[in-house]
């Protein structure tokens, strides 16, 4: 179940008319509704009120319990004898379509397209003119009793300026129109939130317990009522702008819909609050790109498919790695290419920054864009682009000194680095692997992951040197490519300082996700000492991007590829893992932990000490906000075969995500097999190699942020995935032990404050 977010206090919608002198008389009111209970009385699902004490509305339980009726002032157009009206039986999870058709003096009511009641009004039909008001919640504007407000959910509500017949009503579906019959006013809460779809009603005021939840308007009763009005005093329909620009006035509708978009995003139960996600549009692919540090600020680009344009690099910057300012897009289609795929960033000694990217589409190659500093708002693509030219998609055909043909990659460039006055860049191997390395008889040197090194004296003319490193088949297999590379010196401390003698090469293989080599960089070649992965069961943790900051820290981000279906309709996609600080351990292997800045988001700390759990024991952490929290646990694993924590857990265990240490297999485990009862999410068990040393306590840090869950173990291992609980009670956090006893020596939990703007 999507979690509700309170929007405002009362909800009443004020409606305008097509023309100033037109009155609405014959009409149809339709709504898909689920009452929260069947004992409530006197609230309205949908009312039209003339602002002069007259109204018609779909009212529930005012005169007879659990009965629908056509409400009106003083029951002037209401059938008071409702003994023959069937009682409603739907529970709070079941939606029914209720319609009231006004045709002359005849009123016909329908439930799910079937006749419900019919009567002749004793009074003439009421016309509703330009000052009319539409309400959800209270049955009319003058109602003083706050208890007489509808309690429940509304999926879709609409008014037709004509009487509809039974067949037409039966064919209607929420979120859709049938045939040529168009609504005169229409609220489809799943795809427009509180925005009225025809553009007729543009002013919105809210009050009471009102929420957007699971694509529905939810009214909590006790006076919860909405108010929207036509901002044009003439009562004419306000057109929804299709396009507008930086010049001229900003359309009122653009302002209103921008506000509604933010409110909808805040109400989205899967949109993280402190993990970065693109502000809107489709980040698929959604690679982090172009990270650099300059003038005290962190800059990060994100790849997304901009509506109406193509693949662009969005640009954000921050002083604290938590709160991001949005800049204009850095690069996108134009100036010689039709879009921009992944790459890196580099800041030269004069403060100029360069973005290296893969030019789209076809046989283009590697492009560079430059910004001379300041806020780095303006970027200019080099006229020499492509500075490394492809001869086909992502591949460059070349000849060696003996005239023999060979192929190197010209896709997904790394960051540029500078050594002894010369510039260096790496290019990725996927398209070369696809061309010549996957055949059963492919030469060993062409199989698996590899990178190609280029150098330049002026950033415009680049010369190919050689393959950058030699792959070891015991570490990676022949199916894996090397793309989205990041190559930087590795500090010896999580807080930065001078670099160690080692370098870190981060990259992805498309089939197995993010991984890395720690090794030696000498004589323009890289020699890996050890290899590790950051995702094991699939490729969820993907497309790494890293920078060195002013303290000397290496900080990385990655895109979480588990995008749910229907993202286009939700208006946004793409989530990044937390920024991780990376450094060299005493044993020469990689260490990792979330950046320390995240601690500033902590609040409402709770702690427990020395919690002993027997085999099969659990301990619920009462009072922990289970959808936006951090946990820190120090555990003596004792005799337990597995011990850890359950998060996003429902009370009955129908949904839960398990994070634990497997003592027998020496693995850190993320079990998502019961994370959701819905179709979304990869319901798998991910296992990362991780062994505790003799006498070493298990130290877990866990971060939960709506649909993102991350677990870190002893600064040596981590797993990050997305989960999509459907139940609104999947907020529990509990400790557990299985196969033996475990002692939870210290447990701390914090609520995490939101850092995303919406």
d(CA 366, CA 388): 5
Q: Residue 4: what pLDDT? A: 34
Tens digits of residue pLDDT in 329-354: 999 999 989 999 999 999 999 999 99
Q: Reply yes or no on whether the pLDDT at 233 is more than 80.
A: no
**Tokens matching residue 404:** 């023999």
Q: Residue 314: what pLDDT? A: 97
Q: Reply yes or no on whether the pLDDT at 3 is more than 50.
A: no
Tens digits of residue pLDDT in 472-519: 999 999 999 999 999 999 999 999 999 999 999 999 999 999 999 999
d(CA 98, CA 437): 63
d(CA 516, CA 505): 5
- Cis geometry, peptide bond prior to residue 46 (ω within 30 degrees of 0): no
Strands 27-35 and 114-120: unpaired
Q: Reply yes or no on whether the pLDDT at 451 is more than 50.
A: yes
User: Which pLDDT band holds residue 236 (cuts at 50, 70, 90)?
Assistant: very low
Q: Reply yes or no on whether the pLDDT at 200 is more than 80.
A: no
Q: Reply yes or no on whether the pLDDT at 642 is more than 60.
A: yes
Tens digits of residue pLDDT in 259-280: 889 998 999 999 999 999 999 9
d(CA 204, CA 256): 9
Distances 77 to 41, 42, 162, 291 between C-alpha atoms, Å: 18, 16, 18, 66
Tens digits of residue pLDDT in 649-683: 999 999 999 999 999 999 999 999 999 999 999 99
CB 752 within 8 A of CB 627: no
Q: Residue 16: what pLDDT? A: 36
- Say if pTM beats, i.e. exceeds, 0.85: no
Q: Reply yes or no on whether the pLDDT at 551 is more than 80.
A: yes
* Domains parsed from the chain with CATH numbers: 5-263 (2.60.120.200), 288-594 (2.115.10.20), 597-752 (2.60.120.560)
The whole-number average pLDDT for the span 606-626 is 96
CB 97 within 8 A of CB 111: yes
User: Which pLDDT band holds residue 152 (cuts at 50, 70, 90)?
Assistant: very high
Calculate the average pLDDT of the chain: 91
The whole-number average pLDDT for the span 425-440 is 96
User: Which pLDDT band holds residue 208 (cuts at 50, 70, 90)?
Assistant: confident
d(CA 598, CA 308): 36
- Residue holding tokens 């009312």? 47
CB 221 within 8 A of CB 14: no
- Residue holding tokens 């006013």? 185
Q: Residue 249: what pLDDT? A: 85
The phi and psi torsions of 679 (rounded to 5 degrees) equal -80, -15
CB 537 within 8 A of CB 687: yes
Least trusted range by pLDDT, from 99-108, 144-153, 707-716: 144-153
Q: Residue 238: what pLDDT? A: 44
Q: Residue 8: what pLDDT? A: 29
Q: Reply yes or no on whether the pLDDT at 282 is more than 90.
A: yes
Q: Residue 24: what pLDDT? A: 87
Three-state DSSP class for residue 465: strand
**Tokens matching residue 622:** 């009462």
**Could you give the percent of the chain with pLDDT greater than 90?**
79
CB 57 within 8 A of CB 29: yes
The whole-number average pLDDT for the span 699-703 is 98
CB burial class (10 A; 0-12, 13-18, 19+) of residue 355? buried
Q: Residue 374: what pLDDT? A: 85
């Amino acid at each position: 179940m999507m979690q509700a977010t309170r929007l405002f206090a009362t909800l009443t919608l004020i409606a305008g008319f097509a023309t100033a002198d037109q009155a609405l008389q014959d009409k149809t009111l339709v709504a898909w509704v689920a009452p929260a209970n069947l004992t409530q009385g006197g609230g309205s699902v949908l009312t039209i009120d003339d602002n002069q004490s007259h109204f018609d509305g779909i009212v529930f339980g005012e005169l007879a319990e659990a009965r629908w009726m056509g409400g009106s002032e003083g029951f002037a157009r209401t059938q008071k004898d409702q003994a023959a009206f069937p009682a409603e039986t739907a529970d709070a999870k079941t939606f029914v379509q209720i319609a009231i058709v006004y045709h002359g003096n005849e009123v016909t009511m329908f439930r799910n397209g079937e006749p419900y009641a019919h009567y002749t009004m004793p009074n003439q039909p009421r016309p509703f003119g330009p000052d009319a008001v539409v309400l959800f919640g209270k049955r009319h504007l003058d109602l003083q009793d706050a208890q007489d407000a509808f309690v429940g959910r509304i999926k879709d509500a609409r008014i037709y300026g004509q009487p509809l017949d039974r067949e037409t009503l039966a064919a209607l579906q929420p979120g859709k129109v049938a045939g040529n019959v168009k609504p005169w006013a229409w609220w489809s809460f799943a795809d427009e939130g509180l925005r009225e779809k025809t553009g007729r009603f543009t002013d919105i005021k809210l009050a009471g317990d009102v929420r957007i939840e699971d694509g529905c308007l939810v009214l909590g009763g006790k006076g919860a009522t909405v108010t929207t009005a036509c901002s044009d005093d003439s009562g004419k329909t306000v057109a929804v702008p299709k396009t507008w620009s930086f010049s001229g006035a900003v359309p009122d509708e653009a302002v209103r819909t921008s506000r509604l978009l933010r409110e909808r995003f805040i109400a989205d139960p899967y949109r993280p609050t402190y993990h970065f996600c693109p502000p809107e549009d489709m980040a698929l692919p959604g690679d982090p790109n172009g990270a650099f540090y300059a003038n005290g600020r962190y800059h990060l680009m994100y790849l997304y498919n901009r509506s109406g344009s193509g693949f662009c690099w969005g640009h954000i910057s921050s002083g604290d790695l938590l709160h991001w300012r949005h800049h204009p897009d850095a690069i996108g289609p134009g100036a010689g290419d039709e879009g921009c795929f992944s790459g890196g960033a580099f800041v030269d000694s004069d403060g100029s920054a360069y973005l290296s990217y893969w030019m789209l589409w076809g046989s283009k190659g590697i492009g560079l864009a430059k910004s001379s500093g300041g806020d780095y708002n303006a970027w200019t693509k080099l006229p020499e682009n492509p500075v490394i030219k492809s001869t086909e998609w992502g591949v460059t055909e070349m000849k060696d000194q003996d005239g023999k043909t060979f192929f190197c990659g010209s896709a997904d460039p790394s960051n540029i680095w500078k050594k002894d006055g010369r510039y260096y860049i790496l290019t990725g191997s996927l398209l070369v692997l696809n061309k010549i390395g996957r055949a059963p008889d492919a030469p060993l040197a062409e199989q698996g992951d590899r990178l190609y090194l280029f150098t330049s004296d002026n950033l415009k003319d680049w010369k190919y040197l050689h393959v950058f490193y030699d792959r070891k088949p015991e570490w990676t297999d022949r199916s894996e490519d090397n793309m989205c590379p990041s190559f930087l010196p590795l500090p010896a401390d999580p807080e930065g300082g001078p670099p160690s003698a080692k370098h870190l090469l981060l990259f992805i293989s498309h089939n197995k996700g993010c991984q890395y080599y720690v090794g030696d960089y000498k004589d323009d070649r890289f020699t890996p000492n050890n290899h590790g992965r950051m995702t094991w069961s699939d490729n969820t943790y993907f497309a790494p991007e890293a920078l060195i900051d002013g303290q000397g820290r290496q900080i990385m981000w990655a895109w979480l590829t588990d995008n749910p279906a229907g993202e286009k309709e939700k208006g946004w996609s793409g989530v990044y893992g937390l920024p991780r600080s990376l450094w060299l351990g005493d044993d020469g292997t990689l260490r990792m932990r979330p950046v320390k800045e995240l601690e500033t988001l902590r609040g409402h700390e709770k702690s427990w000490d020395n919690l002993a759990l027997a085999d099969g024991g659990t301990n619920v952490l009462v009072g922990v906000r289970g959808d936006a929290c951090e946990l820190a646990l120090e555990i003596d694993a004792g005799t337990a075969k597995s011990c850890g924590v359950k998060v996003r857990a429902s009370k009955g265990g129908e949904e839960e995500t398990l994070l634990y240490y497997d003592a027998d297999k020496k693995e850190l485990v993320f079990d998502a097999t019961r994370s959701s009862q819905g179709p979304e999410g990869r319901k798998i068990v991910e296992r990362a190699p991780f062994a505790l040393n003799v006498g070493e306590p298990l130290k877990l840090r866990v971060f939960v942020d709506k649909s993102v869950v991350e677990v870190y173990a002893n600064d040596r291992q981590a797993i990050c995935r997305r989960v999509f609980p459907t139940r609104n009670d999947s907020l529990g956090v509990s400790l557990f032990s299985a196969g033996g006893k475990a002692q939870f020596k210290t447990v701390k939990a914090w609520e995490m404050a939101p850092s995303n703007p919406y």
